[in-house]
């Protein structure tokens, strides 16, 4: 897990450039709850753009004729503030699994939702599309009862081969103030 450091660049892939972050527009029910999600991996942000465009078309945020090539990868510089409460899940361990599951199904592990409700920034492994199916199976008790050591171990074993990348969830206005918008790169202009 990459540690959040002063001056580091973080990236966000989307259908649009986001120079001004509005937490009210951020989705609920994501891995670490509602917040603005970033990654240290430009490649990961780039790979997310097609999913963001597809979702934006589906919900009507952009017309059906919206061109994927116009998607954006926004870059931000992080400025450390010692007053922020930051928690990092250092690996895909049972507590990470439980917290991600609790954010997807609030009836699971409510004590973890309460434990982390005041944290400004949460970082850890990302549950991408490949892992979303495994997490849904975990929540639906496919591996057994969530929280039992054997159940957790089986679910984590399924997740680890997916080479989980990092994500940083900026959950509060104070956390967002630590992000300086640097630029946006047009998806279609990036040479791959």
Q: Where are the beta strands (DSSP E) in the chain?
A: 9-14, 36-38, 72-78, 86-88, 121-125, 166-170, 179-186
Total structural domains within the chain:
1
| High-pLDDT (> 70) share of the chain, % | 95
- Round to whole Å and give the CA distance between 50 and 58: 12
Q: What is the mean pLDDT of residues 10-36?
A: 94
User: 1 in a domain, yes or no?
Assistant: no
Return all residues near 112 (Cβ < 8 A) that are at least 6 apart. 95, 98, 99, 102
User: 192 in a domain, yes or no?
Assistant: no
Which residue would you say has higher pLDDT here, 160 or 56? 56
| High-pLDDT (> 90) share of the chain, % | 76
User: 3 in a domain, yes or no?
Assistant: no
Which residue would you say has higher pLDDT here, 51 or 126? 51
pTM of the model: 0.90
Reported as a single tens digit per residue, the pLDDT across 65-100 is 999 999 999 999 999 999 999 999 988 889 999 999
pLDDT for res 161: 52
Q: What angle separates helix 129-139 from helix 94-104, to the nearest 10 degrees?
A: 80
Handedness of CA 78, 24, 116, 45 (dihedral sign): negative
Which residue would you say has higher pLDDT here, 20 or 1? 20
Question: Is the per-residue pLDDT at 162 higher than 70?
Answer: no
User: 4 in a domain, yes or no?
Assistant: no
- Round to whole Å and give the CA distance between 12 and 74: 5
User: 35 in a domain, yes or no?
Assistant: yes
Which residue would you say has higher pLDDT here, 69 or 192? 69
Residue 121: pLDDT band by 50, 70, 90 thresholds? very high
Domain that holds residue 106: 9-187
User: 2 in a domain, yes or no?
Assistant: no
User: 112 in a domain, yes or no?
Assistant: yes
């Amino acid at each position: 897990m990459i540690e959040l450091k002063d001056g580091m660049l973080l990236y966000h892939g989307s259908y649009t450039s986001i120079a001004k972050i509005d937490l009210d527009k951020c989705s609920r029910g994501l891995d670490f709850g509602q917040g603005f999600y970033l990654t240290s991996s430009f490649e990961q942000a780039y790979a997310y753009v097609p999913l963001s465009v597809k979702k934006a078309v589906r919900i009507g945020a952009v017309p059906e004729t919206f061109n994927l090539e116009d998607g954006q990868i926004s870059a931000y510089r992080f400025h450390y503030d010692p007053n922020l409460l930051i928690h990092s899940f250092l690996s895909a361990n049972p507590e990470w699994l439980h917290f991600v599951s609790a954010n997807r199904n609030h009836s699971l592990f409510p004590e973890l939702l309460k434990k982390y409700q005041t944290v400004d920034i949460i970082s850890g492994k990302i549950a991408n599309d490949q892992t979303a199916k495994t997490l849904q199976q975990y929540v639906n008790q496919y591996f057994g009862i969530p929280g039992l050591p054997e159940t957790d171990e089986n679910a984590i074993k399924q997740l680890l081969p997916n080479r989980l990348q990092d994500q940083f969830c900026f959950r509060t206005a104070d956390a967002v103030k630590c992000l300086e918008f640097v630029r946006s790169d047009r998806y279609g202009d990036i040479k791959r």
